[in-house]
Amino acid sequence: MRTDQSVTTAISVRDLNFAWASGETVLDHCNLSVPKGEFWMLLGTNGSGKSTLLRLLAGLLKPKSGDIEIDARIGFVFQNPDHQLVMPTVGADIAFGLASENLSYIETLHRVKESLSAVNLEQMIRRPIYALSGGQKQRVAIAGAIARHAEILLLDEPTALLDGENQLDLVASVRDLVKQKNLTALWVTHRLNELDYADGAFLLERGQVIDKGDPMRLKQVLLEKS
């Protein structure tokens, strides 16, 4: 984790408040900032507000009050990739996400191949989505964000549906992407072993960040509580 105060902030949240229509408060004066070019994780028990916060950052929900500042294009990766993969093949799905950019066929193909190469799936460009494993589907979802030139990845428990080996393979891949392409990532998890790959972490409780910083220290704190 860096301590240089001059590091640029990619994601900034100040006094963020959110409640459901029922009146149930989810986020209560929540504050956090993620440095550009780093891989941070968001921890907390079920109901702490992790997924809600990520959806607010992605613009899928609107806050009751507070400020959100994002300095680059966002790519959102759902817990279940089947919720965002809509085309029959890998290449077609990524190309579909580029439709609004009015690219030529050659430009689109280049973006698709480049993004699949980044997640080591270039050989699967014609593979049917149904034939992919859960981990491969998550990689395709991440490739779609890279193809759209997203510089900030928001990942909502992307390993929740994967087995142990694929979990760590995916988290290591995202960490490598962050470093190789100077991306920024905020990864929601409750798996403490994933902290081994992070630059930093936030601990969310009852809608507030109650601790942040070195992931190994937070890992130890949570292990002592369990």
Average pLDDT over residues 186-199: 94
Point out which residues pair with 60 in neighbouring strands: none
Q: What is the pTM of this model?
A: 0.91
Helices and strands, number each (H, E), in the chain: 6, 9
CA distances (Å), origin 221, targets 8, 208, 211, 212: 28, 17, 10, 11
Sorted by where each begins, the domain ranges of the chain are 7-72+151-226, 87-150
pLDDT, residue 2, reads 47
pLDDT band at 164 (very low <50, low <70, confident <90, very high): confident
Q: What is the pLDDT of residues 120-139, one digit of tens each?
A: 999 999 999 999 999 999 99
pLDDT, residue 6, reads 61
Strand order across the 65-70 sheet: 25-35, 9-19, 65-70
pLDDT band at 3 (very low <50, low <70, confident <90, very high): very low
Distance from C-alpha of 78 to C-alpha of 185, rounded to nearest angstrom: 14
Lowest mean pLDDT among 81-85, 127-131, 195-199: 81-85
Q: What is the pLDDT of residues 41-78, one digit of tens each?
A: 999 988 899 999 999 999 999 999 999 999 889 999 99
Task: Domain 7-72+151-226: give its CATH superfamily.
Answer: P-loop containing nucleotide triphosphate hydrolases (3.40.50.300)
Distance from C-alpha of 182 to C-alpha of 16, rounded to nearest angstrom: 27
Instruction: Name the residue with tokens 């609107």.
Output: 62
**Has residue 226 got a pLDDT over 80?**
no
Question: What rounded mean pLDDT belongs to the chain?
Answer: 92
User: HSE on the CB side for 158, CA within 13 Å?
Assistant: 32
